């Protein structure tokens, strides 16, 4: 709960005004303490002017702060130009120290107060660096916060892109159950209604189950492997009815049905064999198998059709596998045979 509130405070745009108020209050306190420390030997002399000096100091600090926030950080730090950013950072600190030296000299001269700095040499800047330690830490903390916020938003953006990519790949896989296939099945069904009404009815039932799976079940991130198996069988049965020269054999272990799998993950390999059978005159046989060994799922697709996935199809399949099973899959493809091993499968 605390982590969530802190995260929202630094990232959520609706808390932006409160973040700026926090910055202003923090530097107001720092300005007050520094003016008090610098003139601690004659603080009563400038009592009436202390609010004015604090205000001027605060304006200088806020000016350098917002230069860091709106220029140095987005332009150089987030752009990974670290040397230029460090140079700009130390220039800001130099400006603050120069202001403190100049302001103290002017005030002590006007009020005829004894000077603490006897000679103005470059060593003075080095000696005053410890007095700016709090300022440096605050600016570095703000820069680190902005970097942290940028990293979080970038991670969320990349995660969203990956999710959208996966969904687009899934939609693309759905589209691979092409209108041409549906048209062929419907034309075949129309022909069968005149000669074999029972077979036509069976085709329509299978087609309805196939479309229902695509429209509803595929909206989930994971589906039961038993549902995916039924989808594959319906698809292949329809192909078999449409093309008499195509047959298939599908074997699977009973202990895999409760496994969870991304929907339509295996169909590209199967379609690659089935969709090409129309232009092949010789008999085509497709052999599929699914088995589980410990925590791994093994898929094999072997066909007398030697066609391979196109480069575009293979790229899409590998990209989806890399997103869903990063480093946990092995894919092997040769002419006529595809083997896929998925590790770390879940139930």
Please give the pLDDT value at position 290.
93
The total number of structural domains that make up the chain: 2
Whether residue 72 contacts residue 85, with contact meaning beta carbons closer than 8 Å, is answered with yes
Does residue 166 sit within a domain? Answer: no
Residues 186, 305, single domain; the answer is yes
Residues 219, 339, single domain; the answer is yes
Residues with Cβ within 8 Å of 273's Cβ and at least 6 positions away in sequence, in order, are 284, 286, 301, 303, 305, 307
Residue-wise pLDDT tens for the chain (347 aa)?
Answer: 444 676 677 667 788 888 888 888 988 998 898 888 888 888 888 888 889 999 998 999 889 888 988 888 888 888 888 899 899 988 988 888 888 888 888 888 888 888 777 666 666 666 666 666 777 787 888 788 788 878 877 888 888 777 777 666 656 555 556 666 677 778 878 877 888 888 888 888 888 888 888 777 777 778 889 999 998 998 888 888 877 778 889 999 888 888 888 888 888 888 877 665 445 456 778 899 999 988 899 999 988 877 777 787 788 788 888 878 888 899 998 888 899 999 878 77
Which stretches of the chain are assigned E, i.e. beta strand? 223-224, 246-252, 260-261, 284-293, 296-303, 329-334, 337-343
> What are the C-alpha distances in Å from 2 to residues 8, 134, 142, 152?
10, 26, 20, 17
Does residue 185 sit within a domain? Answer: yes
Residues 142, 104, single domain; the answer is yes
Residues 315, 216, single domain; the answer is yes
The CATH number given to whatever domain includes residue 213 is 3.30.565.10
Does residue 167 sit within a domain? Answer: no
Q: Which domain holds residue 317?
A: 177-343
Please give the pLDDT value at position 59.
93
| pTM value surpassing 0.75 | no
Residues with Cβ within 8 Å of 153's Cβ and at least 6 positions away in sequence, in order, are 11
Please give the pLDDT value at position 298.
94
Does residue 226 sit within a domain? Answer: yes
The closest of 118, 122, 98 to 108, measured between CA atoms, is 118
Residues 339, 260, single domain; the answer is yes
Residues 73, 19, single domain; the answer is yes
Does residue 170 sit within a domain? Answer: no
Residues 331, 203, single domain; the answer is yes
Please give the pLDDT value at position 185.
78
Residues 182, 329, single domain; the answer is yes
Does residue 171 sit within a domain? Answer: no
Q: Pick the last residue of a domain from 135, 160, 185.
A: 160
Please give the pLDDT value at position 127.
62
Q: Pick the last residue of a domain from 114, 133, 160.
A: 160
Residues with Cβ within 8 Å of 324's Cβ and at least 6 positions away in sequence, in order, are 166, 262, 265
């Amino acid at each position: 709960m605390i982590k969530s509130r802190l995260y929202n405070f630094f990232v959520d745009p609706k808390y932006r005004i409160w973040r700026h108020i926090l910055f202003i209050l923090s530097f107001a306190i720092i300005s007050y303490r520094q003016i008090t420390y610098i003139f601690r030997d004659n603080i009563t002399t400038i009592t009436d002017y202390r609010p004015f000096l604090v205000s001027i100091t605060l304006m200088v600090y806020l000016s350098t702060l917002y230069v860091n926030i709106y220029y140095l950080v987005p332009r150089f730090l987030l752009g990974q130009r670290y040397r230029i950013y460090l140079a700009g950072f130390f220039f800001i600190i130099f400006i603050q120290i120069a202001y403190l030296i100049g302001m103290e000299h002017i005030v002590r001269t006007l009020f005829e107060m004894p000077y603490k700095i006897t000679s103005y040499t470059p060593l003075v800047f080095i000696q005053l660096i410890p007095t700016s330690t709090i300022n440096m830490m605050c600016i570095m903390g703000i820069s680190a916060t902005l970097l942290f916020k940028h990293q979080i938003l970038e991670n969320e953006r990349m995660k969203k892109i990956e999710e959208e990519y996966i969904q687009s790949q899934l939609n693309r896989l759905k589209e691979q159950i092409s209108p041409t296939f549906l048209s062929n099945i419907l034309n075949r069904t129309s022909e069968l209604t005149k000669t074999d009404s029972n077979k036509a009815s069976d085709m329509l039932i299978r087609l309805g189950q196939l479309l229902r799976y695509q429209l509803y079940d595929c909206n989930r991130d994971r589906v039961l492997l038993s549902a995916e198996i039924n989808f594959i069988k319906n698809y292949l049965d329809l192909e078999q009815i449409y093309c008499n020269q195509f047959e298939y054999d599908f074997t699977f272990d009973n202990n895999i049905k409760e496994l969870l799998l991304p929907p339509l993950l295996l169909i590209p390999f199967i379609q690659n064999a089935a969709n090409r059978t129309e232009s092949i005159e010789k008999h085509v046989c497709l052999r599929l198998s699914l088995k589980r060994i410990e925590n791994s799922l093994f898929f094999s697709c072997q066909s007398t059709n030697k066609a391979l996935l196109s480069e575009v199809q293979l790229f899409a399949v590998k990209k989806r596998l890399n997103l869903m099973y990063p480093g946990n899959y092995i894919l092997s493809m040769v002419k006529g045979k595809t083997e896929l091993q998925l590790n770390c499968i879940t139930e």
